[in-house]
Amino acid sequence: MMANEVKSQVSIHLTSMIQPTDGEQEMTEMWLTGQLLEKAGSTYLKYEEIEEGQVIRTTMKLDHDKALIMRAGAVNMRLPLNRLEQQNGHYEGDFGSMPLVVQTKQLSFTKQETSGQFHVQYDLIISGQSAGNYTVDITFMEVQ
């Protein structure tokens, strides 16, 4: 571990809500264990989730007006979020690879000494069409 790196174990409560352009609203809630990493003035949250028996590793770089969600494993995704401008992302899964356009509507990140909250709401645009509205809420707390 580098000298300017601070790492701690955290418990994570994640809720996500997807409102597809056509279809039923989907809500997911997960309790995970992960790491919080402070490195070169940035905050990173890392965790793993198992989806249909396959591991997906997620790394989130969190900031007050922008964030980056990177997923690797069964799904590979790069999702940049920026309140000020739309961003281009990328998704790779079983069905191949596709470019994404991300229009961030709301984004907030607050961090206390041993805990924090992250909230984002965004529209995902695939091939020029809105795929839906996504809301993700994360609360994390250091595990002693």
For every one of its 144 residues, what pLDDT tens digit does the chain have, with 9 covering 90 and above?
455 678 999 999 999 999 999 899 999 999 999 999 998 889 999 999 988 899 999 999 999 889 999 999 988 999 999 999 999 999 998 888 899 999 999 999 999 988 999 999 999 999 889 999 999 999 999 997
Token pair, residue 24, equals 């039923």
Distance CA 26, CA 38 (A): 32
Distance CA 66, CA 81 (A): 5
Distance CA 39, CA 48 (A): 20
CA angle, residues 34, 40, 43, in degrees to nearest 5 = 35
Distance CA 19, CA 25 (A): 5
- Domain boundaries defined on the chain: 5-142
Q: What is the pTM of this model?
A: 0.91
Query: 83: which DSSP letter?
Result: S
Q: Say which CATH superfamily domain 5-142 falls into.
A: Calycin beta-barrel core domain (2.40.128.20)
